[in-house]
Copies of this chain bind each other. A is one copy, B any other.
Amino acid sequence: MHELELSKAFTLIEPGPVVLVTTRRAGRDNIMTISWTTVLDFTPRLAMVTGAWNHSYAALRERRECVIAVPGIDLLDQVVGIGTCSGADTDKFARFHLGAVPAARVQAPLIAECLAHIECKVTDFIEPYDIVVLEGVAAWVEPARAQRRMIHAVGDGRFIADGRRYQRREAMAAKLPPGV
């Protein structure tokens, strides 16, 4: 994987993809599927919505770090499978045949099969809304992957893959932050 400048890491989340979030606690890696995320700023500061109903939440509370991994559409059935079983009784890396790759700045692993990653520190919990605030500390992309279409969840059991791309960089120039 190639390192991505932190100033560009928000561009992995702004399109609104379903992501896989890895954690590590007591020597065990876990993964959850999350589609409720948003960029908060260009630091990048990010938010995701999760709570005690997810087994990974205890790891976020205790270790205060995670990796956000962006899967391509080729991983759709693994994303659905990961989102419908629990790390309480399942080794998800083993069950879904995914490779855990050491990260640089956090203990939680990258996922070998994903398109891109943001290593994150947990910096805050906004309790009444189950919002977890994250700060990206390193980011990685897999530039060699031909299949780069991300997945978007509708929330009713349907999913949408990325389609056609449009370049509007010139028209957007005044709004782009430095380093993007």
Interface residues of A (CB under 8 A from B): 8, 10-11, 14-17, 35-41, 45, 47-49, 73, 76-77, 80-81, 83-84, 126, 129-131, 133, 149-150, 152-176, 180
Cβ-closest chain B residue relative to A170? B157
Nearest-neighbour CB distance to chain B for A39, whole angstroms, equals 5
Residues of B within 8 A of A17 (CB): 16
Residue contacts A-B, CB under 8 angstroms, 21 given: A11-B154, A14-B36, A15-B160, A16-B35, A38-B47, A38-B48, A38-B49, A39-B49, A40-B49, A40-B131, A76-B166, A77-B168, A80-B171, A126-B131, A129-B133, A149-B163, A152-B162, A158-B169, A160-B162, A160-B165, A161-B166
Q: In whole angstroms, how far apart are the Cα atoms of A17 and B167 in the complex? A: 17
Residues of chain B lying within 8 A (CB to CB) of residue A131: 40, 47, 126, 131
Q: Is the CB of B155 within 8 A of A11?
A: yes
